[in-house]
């Protein structure tokens, strides 16, 4: 049953990447998706399709080796480093608690390389959001807030997109984690004014302090799988 | 004279000791659970000292070996009162034997008994165990070390004789845990050692590559050693022959029990830096590794194994502590026995998941309501305001770092690492749900806990416990619960089985509850609890005859009084 489901997921990934005409096995399907990424290493969408298939197949080490090789060959590709970083994040739920820390740190390293090559909204949002998963004793929450504030500035200069709501959510969370609930509430409220249908914002604004802590502890529980799918980015024109 | 007394006891078969407590205002076990800390008053508050090392990596090795604060409960002089042996670990320090005076005070009799030694320049005392290795009716003492173990024979007069040399227990290991059990049901107690580091002497380190090769899946630890008793005071290493030689994990605790109700003792190994292991007893002197199918492989930091039937379904469950802190979310494991050779972790569902940096945890019906509660100690190192974790993570995330090298690890100095943690007392409400009540019960201390030894030290039918702490003074919690329920305790004496009756199972039926307990030989990290079996009965002052299944296979039904401690001898050969 698991294999059928896995096969179905791969089929979806292949369909998404335009490779659906082929009917390959699991390993062959991943190879085809890797070919697509190799052909366009800077293409977030091709890498996203591949990563989603990798999650279903639980072939994280294969994918990390693949991205590592590609990142050496295409060291100047900002989006490739972003995809490589996401691959580390994708493996986290499958790893032990200490390995999770190493993976999360490696992911941050790749996100940073991506931003250094080209500071993009998705790069800043991704790294900023990642910092929020680190317990406060590591002193990385403020770094996350800095990235998210930069992402907010960037999105204000762009045409409004549905996925921009994510920055309001995460930035408010960052302020809350920095013990500034007033600023958190103001950020979530501002976000809700721009995105009145946002369930995550409504949820945060509806919770009293203790319940909000439980909610955010759950959201930033590093042992849970983080949705790293980027389909939002190309779901609207 | 001694033989005559023994014969009389055998003739009577059932001896009754202790006294019925006064009428209870509310003998249901649902009143407040309260404890009073009396270690100083009782005279058992000598502090433990962690071993200090010299040379490069000294600070790191001190940290890695800070687990040797342990306690072992046993009635060494057969006066009906549980005595206490407490370990120390620094070079030149003395372990302590405390004789129970019966009035909640103890007398330090270490010097006379001759059992204080063990900490020398090349050995670190780490755990201790009472067990009657020669079946003479007097409990002997085993002291295990990062080094070779020490075996003391009980001379029946309050003194002990070091018999290590002729015992065959001569293998060097970095042993951190030990249990005594009769794995082959031959009537003689065998020993299982849990070894943390691989067998190199940390106090004379030639090669610094001794630390875990992976922090979630390490395979370069000390594994276990199984010592088979030959019956003449000698033991032989049968680890490989028994099928346990393939385990090379960082064993922190070992536990035993008849997990599949086949009359044979099975074992569970809690391992740091990687997967725990469960082995089922084949009945032919060998064990089979059933980890994959029974519990699955894990990457957690297993610290403790205690065994008990928390839901009274007639199958022994297992509780394992791991690390769940701000920076690591492992969750403990309460392995519910599915009665088919598999277990399901229900720690989240039962509310027993989070105990911070866990160490020992002990089942015990502390309110006598018929459900096993859990006391859990925690805390690694309470130092100054600086936190070691960010320093450590800098090392862990350094590309290409060699974890095995002592020199890779940053010194901790006076820093805190998972320190000042409040202890947890989980009250079992109904066999499915636990409620954390440590603060209300007065046991939420924040010392760096390690071991727990549970006993009814004053024979009043309520379970007390002794808590050891690394490099700190221990605590003795006297159970003062006013509304505790009815109870009974039984001391089993084997005749065809091993004299300590380790592995014997008693079933008590009280009202709608059917409870099982097995005599265990040292389950739980760094703490051996009383070998007397304690049953809380709640409001039930009447019970059916209790049923005993002895390790020899003998089955026995015995009527015993409620509110008393009863000694029961195994029928048959004396």
The count of residues in chain A is 237
In this predicted structure, the answer to whether residue B310 has a pLDDT above a threshold of 90 is yes
Chain B residue with CA closest to A221: the answer is B329
Q: What is the pLDDT of residue A87?
A: 98
In this predicted structure, the answer to whether residue A194 has a pLDDT above a threshold of 60 is yes
Q: Work out the pLDDT band at B14, boundaries 50, 70, 90.
A: very low
Q: What is the pLDDT of residue A235?
A: 86
In this predicted structure, the answer to whether residue B204 has a pLDDT above a threshold of 60 is yes
Give helix A2-16 / helix A44-57 axis angle, nearest 10°. Answer: 170
Q: What is the pLDDT of residue A167?
A: 98
- How many beta carbons lie within 10 A of that of residue A211, not counting itself? 11
Task: Indicate the residue of A96, A97, A101 with minimum beta-carbon distance to B397.
Answer: A101
Phi, psi of B452 (to 5 degrees): -135, 130
Q: What is the pLDDT of residue B21?
A: 43
Over residues B154-180, the mean pLDDT reads: 97
Q: Work out the pLDDT band at B1, boundaries 50, 70, 90.
A: very low
Are B96 and B110 within 8 A, CB to CB?
A: yes
Tokens at residue B108, please?
Answer: 């330090």
Tokens at residue A223, please?
Answer: 């042992």
pLDDT digits (tens, 9 = 90+) for B82-118: 999 999 999 999 999 999 999 999 999 999 999 999 9
Q: What is the pLDDT of residue A209?
A: 86
Nearest alpha carbon to residue B463 among B443, B434, B484, B446 = B484
Tokens at residue B428, please?
Answer: 């079992």
Asked if B216 and A101 come within 8 Å (Cβ–Cβ), the reply is: no
Are B339 and B315 within 8 A, CB to CB?
A: yes
Element (H, E) at A172: helix A165-177
pLDDT digits (tens, 9 = 90+) for A18-31: 554 445 567 788 99
Residue corresponding to tokens 């001794």: B210
Q: What is the pLDDT of residue A224?
A: 86
Name, in order, each residue with C-beta under 8 angstroms of B1's C-beta and a sequence gap of 6 or more. none
CA distance B521 to B182: 9
Q: What is the pLDDT of residue A18?
A: 55
> How far separated are the first and last CA of chain B, in Å rounded?
16
Q: Work out the pLDDT band at B23, boundaries 50, 70, 90.
A: very low
Asked if B326 and A138 come within 8 Å (Cβ–Cβ), the reply is: no
Asked if B329 and A102 come within 8 Å (Cβ–Cβ), the reply is: no
Cα–Cα distances (Å) from B393 to A95, A135, A137, B57, B212, in that order, read 16, 12, 11, 18, 15
Asked if B215 and A223 come within 8 Å (Cβ–Cβ), the reply is: no
- How many beta carbons lie within 10 A of that of residue B164, not counting itself? 16
Are B479 and B458 within 8 A, CB to CB?
A: no
Are B312 and B363 within 8 A, CB to CB?
A: no
Report the SS3 class of residue A50.
helix
Asked if A95 and B216 come within 8 Å (Cβ–Cβ), the reply is: yes
Q: Cα B114–B525–B295 angle (5° rounding)?
A: 150
**Residue-averaged pLDDT of chain B:** 94
CA distance B386 to A64: 35
CA distance B174 to B223: 10
CA distance B133 to B228: 11
Q: How many CB pairs under 8 A join A and B?
A: 48
pLDDT digits (tens, 9 = 90+) for B437-477: 999 999 999 999 999 999 999 999 999 999 999 999 999 99
Smallest Cα distance from A155 to chain B, Å: 32
Q: What is the pLDDT of residue B31?
A: 82
Q: What is the pLDDT of residue B83?
A: 98
Q: Cα A28–A71–B404 angle (5° rounding)?
A: 95
Asked if A137 and B326 come within 8 Å (Cβ–Cβ), the reply is: yes
In this predicted structure, the answer to whether residue A146 has a pLDDT above a threshold of 90 is yes
Report the SS3 class of residue B8.
helix
Tokens at residue B424, please?
Answer: 């947890």
Element (H, E) at B176: strand B173-181
Beta bridge partners of B71: B86, B527
Over residues B533-546, the mean pLDDT reads: 95
DSSP per-residue string spanning B193-228 = EEE-B-SS-GGG-S-SB-S-SSSSS---B--EEEEE
The torsion defined by the Cα of B356, B357, B363 and B364, in degrees rounded to 10, comes to: -70
CB contacts of A133 in chain B (<8 Å) are: none
- For β-strands B546-549 and B464-469, DSSP reports them as unpaired
A6-10, A28-32, A53-57, B43-47: least confidently modelled range: A6-10
Element (H, E) at A70: helix A60-73
Q: What is the pLDDT of residue A16?
A: 57
CA distance A218 to A198: 19
Helix (H) and strand (E) counts in chain A: 13, 0
CB contacts of A131 in chain B (<8 Å) are: none
User: Is this structure's pTM higher than 0.90?
Assistant: yes
Residue corresponding to tokens 């499958």: A94
Over residues A63-90, the mean pLDDT reads: 97
Asked if A96 and B215 come within 8 Å (Cβ–Cβ), the reply is: yes
Are B438 and B424 within 8 A, CB to CB?
A: yes
Smallest Cα distance from B389 to chain A, Å: 8
C-alpha dihedral sign at A26, A28, A32, A38: positive
């Amino acid at each position: 049953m698991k294999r059928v489901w896995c096969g179905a997921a791969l089929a979806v990934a292949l369909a998404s990447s335009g490779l659906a005409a082929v009917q390959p096995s699991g390993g062959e399907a991943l190879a085809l998706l890797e070919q697509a990424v190799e052909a366009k290493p800077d293409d977030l969408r091709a890498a996203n399709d591949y990563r989603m298939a990798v999650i279903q197949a639980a072939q994280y080490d294969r994918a990390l080796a693949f991205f590592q090789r590609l990142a050496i060959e295409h060291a100047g590709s900002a989006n490739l480093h972003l995809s490589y970083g996401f691959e580390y994040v994708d493996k986290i739920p499958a790893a032990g608690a200490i390995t999770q820390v190493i993976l999360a740190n490696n992911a941050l390293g790749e996100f940073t390389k991506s931003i250094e090559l080209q500071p993009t909204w998705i790069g800043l949002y991704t790294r900023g959001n990642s910092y929020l998963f680190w317990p406060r004793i590591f002193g990385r929450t403020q770094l996350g807030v800095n990235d998210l504030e930069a992402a907010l500035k960037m999105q204000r200069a762009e045409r409004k997109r549905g996925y921009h709501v994510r920055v309001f959510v995460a930035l408010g969370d960052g302020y809350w984690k920095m013990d500034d609930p007033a600023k958190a509430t103001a950020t979530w409220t501002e976000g809700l004014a721009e995105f009145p249908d946002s369930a995550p914002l409504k949820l945060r604004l509806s919770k009293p302090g203790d319940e909000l802590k439980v909610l955010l502890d759950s959201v930033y529980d590093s042992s849970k799988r983080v949705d790293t799918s980027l389909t939002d980015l190309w779901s609207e024109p | 004279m001694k033989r005559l007394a023994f014969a009389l006891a055998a003739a009577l078969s059932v001896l009754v000791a202790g006294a019925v407590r006064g009428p209870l205002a509310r003998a249901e076990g649902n009143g407040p659970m309260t404890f009073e800390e009396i270690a100083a008053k009782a005279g058992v508050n000598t502090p433990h000292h962690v071993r200090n090392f010299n040379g490069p990596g000294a600070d790191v090795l001190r940290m890695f070996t800070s687990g040797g604060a342990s306690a072992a409960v046993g009635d060494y002089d057969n006066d009906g009162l549980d005595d206490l042996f407490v370990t120390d670990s620094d070079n030149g320090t003395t372990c302590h034997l405390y004789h129970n005076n019966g009035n909640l005070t103890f007398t330090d009799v270490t010097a006379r008994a001759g059992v204080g030694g063990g900490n020398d320049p090349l050995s670190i005392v780490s755990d201790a165990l009472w067990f009657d290795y020669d079946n003479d009716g007097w409990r002997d003492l085993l002291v295990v070390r990062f080094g070779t173990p020490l075996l003391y024979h009980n001379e029946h007069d309050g003194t002990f004789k070091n018999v290590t040399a002729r015992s065959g227990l001569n293998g060097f290991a970095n042993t951190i845990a030990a249990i005594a059990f009769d794995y082959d049901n031959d009537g003689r107690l065998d020993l299982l050692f849990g070894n943390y580091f691989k067998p190199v002497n940390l106090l004379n380190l030639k090669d610094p590559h001794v630390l875990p090769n992976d922090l979630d899946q390490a395979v370069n630890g000390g594994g276990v050693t199984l010592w088979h008793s030959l019956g003449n005071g000698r033991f032989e290493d049968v680890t490989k022959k028994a099928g346990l030689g393939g385990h090379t994990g960082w064993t922190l605790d070992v536990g035993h029990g008849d997990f599949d109700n086949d009359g044979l003792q099975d074992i569970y190994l809690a391992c740091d830096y990687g997967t725990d292991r469960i082995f089922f007893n084949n009945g032919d002197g060998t064990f089979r590794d059933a980890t994959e199918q029974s519990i699955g492989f894990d990457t957690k930091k297993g610290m403790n194994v205690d065994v008990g039937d928390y839901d009274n379904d007639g199958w022994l469950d297992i509780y394992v502590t791991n690390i769940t802190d701000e920076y690591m979310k492992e969750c403990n494991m309460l392995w519910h026995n599915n009665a088919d050779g598999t277990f399901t972790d229900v720690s989240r569902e039962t509310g027993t998941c989070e105990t911070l940096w866990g160490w020992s945890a002990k089942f015990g019906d502390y309110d006598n309501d018929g459900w096993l509660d859990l006391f859990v100690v925690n805390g690694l190192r309470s130092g100054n305001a600086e936190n070691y974790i960010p320093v450590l993570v800098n090392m862990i995330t350094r590309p290409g770092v060699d974890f095995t090298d002592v020199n890779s690890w940053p010194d901790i100095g006076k820093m805190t690492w998972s320190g000042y943690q409040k202890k947890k007392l989980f009250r079992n409400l109904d066999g499915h749900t636990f409620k954390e009540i440590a603060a209300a019960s007065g046991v939420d201390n924040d010392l760096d806990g390690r071991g727990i030894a549970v006993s009814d030290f004053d024979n009043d039918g309520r379970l007390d416990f002794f808590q050891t702490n690394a490099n700190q003074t221990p605590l003795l919690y006297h159970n003062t619960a006013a509304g505790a329920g009815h109870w009974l305790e039984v001391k089993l004496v084997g005749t065809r089985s091993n004299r300590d009756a380790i592995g014997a199972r008693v079933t008590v039926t009280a009202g709608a509850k059917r409870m099982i307990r097995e005599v265990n030989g040292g389950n739980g990290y760094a703490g051996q609890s009383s070998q007397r079996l304690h049953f809380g009965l709640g409001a039930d002052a009447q019970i059916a005859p209790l049923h005993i299944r002895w390790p020899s296979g003998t089955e026995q039904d015995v009527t015993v009084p409620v509110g008393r401690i009863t000694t029961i001898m195994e029928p048959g050969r004396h």
